[in-house]
Structure 1
Amino acid sequence: MTLDAPPAPLTAAARGDLAAQARADGVRFLMAVFVDLTGKPCAKLVPVEAAEELQYEGVGFAGYAVGAIGQEPCDPDLVAVPDLASYTLLPAVREGLALVHCDPHVEGQPWPYAPRVILKSLLEKAQERRLELYAGAEIEYFLVARDADGKLVPADGRDRASRPCYDARGLTRMYDHLTGVSSVMNELGWGNYANDHEDANGQFEQNFAYADALTTADRVITARYLISTLAERRGMTATFMPKPFADQTGSGMHLHLSLWDDGEPLFPGDGAHGLSTVARRFLAGILEHAPAMQAVLAPTVNSYKRTGATSTRSGATWSPRRATYGGNDRTHYVRIPDGNRVELRGGDGATNPYLALAVSLAAGLDGIDRELDPDVPDRPELPPTLLHAVDALGADPVVAAALDAAGPGVCEYFARLKREEFFDWHGTVGSWEHDRYLTAF
């Protein structure tokens, strides 16, 4: 990240007529996309002939059928209203296809359970203080397949090294997939700058330039869709599951965060690690609220198989267990690569980017408002399970308020869903229990 002002996203004004723009681009169908609280992408295909209706009236969904978005079967439709600034051509997926991210509405009002609406509410509150959040996201994932016995394995059968990270041969064997994704990112103007083999067999990472927080969150959702679709085309499954293999490193989604004021970066300074006082207080807020934030940053039962790991085949987990910070040291919860940003390393592949950025912003602003000091000794350990994280969320009014930023009840609903998820898993009986208990007594 440089000190130059980040590039501005394409504006809605530049594409004020969705139908005309789509026709000029040879688009035949528009995919109207939004995500639920779990990050599940939901969409309808809208023919270009109905693009004007999509722009001005939106497109309807049965909200309860969507999933975790706060509706019952009797509730009115969700209406997805497109954000024209997010219009994205996707000919690499299908010729004549474009995508547009949407904000769900109910009866004409933004729906408070919609993650994109939540993030926009937090960003608007920050803008009232002349503050703007910029973010970069590192997307890690596995390319997997099933063997003849149905066992999950790396899609590359020759990817067996005990230390495969950055391996040139493993990278080259996935050249077509990785360069295909990279080319799409660059055609879209995202600025893909690196693609690598990560620490586990079958694990990869693809990076693109930072942008304003909403644009970055949209791009994470789009990138997951692109990666998954292009992998399927080659007979593979791309999974963002935090830890698909017990003996290997899991997948993170690290967020690089910075605050700006009218195009001027606020984080560089002459304090420790090159940070300003504002940056240190922002950082302190994240550390203060880390246990509750983990319910959002590590939102699945499987997430805590990653953060709780004590060893892997490679010898490192790359997953923090305490709310610590430091310089260019990847074992911390927050790493400071340079004075321009802080890197939040608590998130994983299941992270909903809208919610993650919303709670990060709320925590950081709380640190600024309360003039918190990051150098507090004996920071607590991070929650060991999803249930512990949800309990921490319920006890943290700042993070809870972030989820409720667009309307009340969202945090309580989210916490209930996550408790149910934990106990659904806890109620299953698996091979570990058979191996340990079947003949033990």
Structure 2
Amino acid sequence: MLTLEGLRQLIQDDQLETVIVAFTDHYGRLLGKRVDAEFFLDDVCNSGTHGCDYLLTTDIAMEPVPGYDYANWELGYGDFHMVPDLLTLRLASWLDKTAIVLCDLHNDKSHQPENIAPRSVLRKQLEALSADGLICKAASELEYYLLENSYRQAFEQNYQNLKPAGYYLEDYHILQGTRTEKYTAAVRRHLKKSGIPVETSKGEWGLGQHEVNIRYSEVLAMADHHVVYKQCLKEIADSMGLSITFMAKFATDQAGSSSHLHLSLWKDGKNAFVGDEQIGPVKGSAIFKWFLGGWIKHVPDVMPFYAPTINSYKRYVDGSWAPTRLAWSYDNRTAGFRVVGKGESLRIECRIPGADCNPYLAFAASLASGLDGIKNKIEPPECFIGDIYAAAHLPRVPYSLAEATSLFENSAFAKETFGEDVVKHYSHFFRIEQKAYDKSVTDWERKRYFEQI
């Protein structure tokens, strides 16, 4: 990570010229500005900069969308204030002479955080956590597909007939990993140089599917690492004439890509999940039990924060390594909630989010659900032993974005936890995504009906 003094020295040594000042939109994409490094030191690091508030109301193609209270044509699409969080200042070592800093978004008039901004949604839950004297340590495991086509080629081919980097299932295979090591080694190297500690990389279960795991940290820092990680991987691929995708379900006949979330709560330097109470096959604390109970119970209330796109829900297929039912088990990859570790490493892994999730929203949903579990002493269901895919009696994750949005929009828990303005805003966001899909003609339809109907 970089201090301002370190940044100043790099500028003086002609090793740094540009600072990217960035934030995430609702899709989890980094947006922002490139700022002259000296101007950043002289002005932006203290005063921030401005961006158009329409950026929190656009669709994925950057078109302004009507129907939002927050920003619209009638209000004139004004500015919000981008406030750099200097704890996130780092080299973007994969770029030439460039650093990056992430921002909180504040209202330009009140100078208060914009409630609907993803980082603000997570910060609100961190305030609730802190009030209980707790901190959260977290990790997100991102999977992706690596393709031999460039992004431009993929676009020009209408994303058809793309060539994965692998041609057989390569889960843990070293040989196939060696074939893509030029890319993956660059990723590991640049993440590490950019202040994101790397643990491992490996092949995954799909053709050309991989993951690079980074070390856990406090939850806000982990969400920040997650978005920088995605940007780094995409831009390195682009520079090599390759492409990667974080779609939750890239191909019908291939495994989906997840973002498994690992969480534990800590107090006074110790894991608060550790205890002597027997909870299924686990010895844990009441905090562990109730957090798990609340997290499971509230999945339907917050599901769009884990699965925000049409494509997200195509990942939930039995026998595909993606969870389909709401249950917990110890070290069982068929479970939506997999408890792993012992002692200080005891943690809960939620396997529901896909690689397309916005990490700020996914972590906020997880914390809000677990904290409500602690507050109301919500008991988890019995630990399930066996193949959860075969347990048809267990409650299922929602089937579609439309279903999940309705549950979220009408959830008293979501409104009380995040605020009615946030729920209304994001419900509109998810419904716009659904409407865009509903009116589109797909390749599947043409293949199925063109001749046969």
Give matches, 1:8-407, under 5 Å: 15=3, 20=8, 23=11, 26-51=15-40, 52-65=42-55, 67-68=57-58, 70-73=70-73, 74-94=76-96, 96-107=97-108, 108-144=111-147, 145=149, 146=153, 151-156=160-165, 159-161=166-168, 163-270=169-276, 271-272=278-279, 273-307=282-316, 309-310=317-318, 316-339=319-342, 340-375=346-381, 379-404=394-419
Alpha-carbon distance in structure 1 between the residues aligned to 2:29 and 2:207: 26
RMSD of the TM alignment (CA)?
2.2
What letter is aligned with 2:439?
G
Contact 1:289/1:396 (<8 A) preserved = no
Task: Give the Cα separation in 1 of the matches to 2:167 and 2:93.
Answer: 34
Q: Which runs of 5+ in 2 are unaligned?
A: 59-67, 385-392
1: CA distance, partners of 2:425 / 2:416:
13
**Partner of 1:303: helix, strand, or coil?**
helix
Alignment-mate amino acid for residue 48 of structure 2: G
Distance 1:76 1:202, change over 3 A: same
* C-alpha distance in structure 1 between counterparts of 2:22 and 2:283, whole Å: 40
Change in CA separation of 1:370 and 1:232 when aligned onto 2, cut-off 3 Å: same
* Superposition deviation, residue 400 in structure 1: 3.7
Query: In structure 2, what residue type is equivalent to 1:100?
Result: V
Return the offset for 1:352.
0.4
The equivalent of 2:389 in structure 1 is none
Change (3 A) 1:334 1:24: farther
The alignment partner of 2:340 has SS state of coil
- Residues of 2 paired with 1:278 and 1:38: CA distance? 32
What is the deviation of 1:417?
A: 1.5
Query: 1:386 and 1:21 mapped to 2: Cα distance?
Result: 49
1:334 Cα deviation (Å)?
A: 0.6
Give the count of matched residue pairs.
416
Give 1:154 shift. Answer: 3.5
Equivalent-residue separation in structure 1 for 2:157 and 2:196 (angstroms): 40
Is this contact kept in 1: 2:322–2:352, CA < 8 A? yes
SS class of match (2:371): helix
Contact 1:267 1:278 in 2 (8 A): yes
String of CA shifts for 1:76-123, please: whole Å, max 9, x gaps: 3112110000011122222x1000010111222211111111111210
- SS at the partner of 1:46? strand
Cα distance in 1 for residues equivalent to 2:100 and 2:207? 32
> Within 2, Cα distance between the matches of 1:57 and 1:388?
43
Pair 1:297–1:275, CA change in 2 (3 A): same
- The answer to whether the Cα contact below 8 Å between 2:29 and 2:227 also exists between their aligned partners in 1 is no
| 1:19 CA displacement | 6.0
Aligned partner of residue 398 in structure 1, secondary structure: helix
Encode CA deviations 1:397-424: one digit per residue, 9 max, x unaligned.
32344443xxx41211111121121122
CA offsets 1:258-301 (integer angstroms, 9 cap, x no match)? 11113221012232323222111101111101122221101100
Please, which runs of 5 or more residues in structure 1 have no aligned partner? 1-9, 311-315
Aligned-partner Cα distance in 1 for 2:212–2:134: 29
Matched residue SS, 2:162: strand
- What SS does the aligned partner of 1:153 have? coil
Residues 363 and 399 of structure 1 are in contact (CA less than 8 Å); yes or no, is this contact kept in structure 2?
Answer: no
Q: 2:439 aligns with which of 414, 419, 427?
A: 427
Corresponding residue SS for 2:122: helix
- Would the alpha carbon gap of residues 193 and 384 (structure 1) be closer, same or farther in structure 2, given more than 3 Å must change? same
TM-score by length of 2: 0.86
Q: Is the 8 A contact 1:141 1:205 kept in 2?
A: yes
- Would the aligned equivalents of 1:362 and 1:398 in 2 still touch at CA under 8 Å? no
Contact 1:27–1:97 under 8 Å retained in 2: yes
Decide whether aligned partners of structure 1 residues 389 and 24 sit closer, same or farther in structure 2, where only a CA change above 3 A counts. farther
Once residues 409 and 185 of structure 1 are traced to their aligned partners in structure 2, the CA distance between those partners, rounded to angstroms, is 36
- 1:4 corresponds to which residue? none
Asked if 1 retains the 8 angstrom alpha-carbon contact of 2:200 and 2:212, the reply is yes
The 2-side partners of 1:122 and 1:259 are apart by 13
- TM-score relative to the length of structure 1: 0.89
Change (3 A) 1:214 1:65: closer
What is the SS of the residue equivalent to 2:126?
Answer: helix
In structure 2, the CA distance between the partners of 1:22 and 1:58, relative to structure 1 (3 Å rule), is farther
Structure 2 counterpart of 1:219, one-letter code? H
